[in-house]
Amino acid sequence: MIEALSHITLIVRDVDRTAQLLRIIFDAEETYDSEGKNYSMSREKFFNIGHTWIAIMEGESRLERSYDHVAFKVTDEEFDAYAARVRAMGLKILPGRERMPGEGRSLYFYDYDNHLFELHTGTLEERLRHYRAS
């Protein structure tokens, strides 16, 4: 039986630069840095973001951008503050899409290696409730 999501690993060109991005935008807590003693394929760092283990590993980054993304839940009250962090870093932000009332607010942005992230205020339960009602 699957218990939960274990972790998400992202391949990045510059581990330290991406680590800084994770700290600034997501308040990521660094828990491990393999620098000087790699047990995996290359240098890696581990972080906790909320209750999610995120690993970043040094390597060749994505060449193309896609809509595959990792979404992090934030409260509606904190949304604007998180969005301001993204804007202050000068990251590529996607234009918003049409949303049904009750879906929550979202901000989609790319990191330095073409990974797409989303800040989202809604929950699955809220979204399904609005889908059923329409």
* Residues assigned a catalytic role: 44
Q: Are 128 and 104 in contact (CB under 8 A)?
A: no
- Look up residue 63 and give its two tokens: 């060449």
Edge-to-edge order in the sheet of strand 7-12: 7-12, 52-58, 44-49, 29-33
> How far apart are the C-alpha atoms of 117 and 125, rounded to whole Å?
21
| Neighbouring residues of 44: CB distance < 8 A, sequence distance ≥ 6 | 9, 15, 32, 33, 34, 38, 55, 56, 57, 58
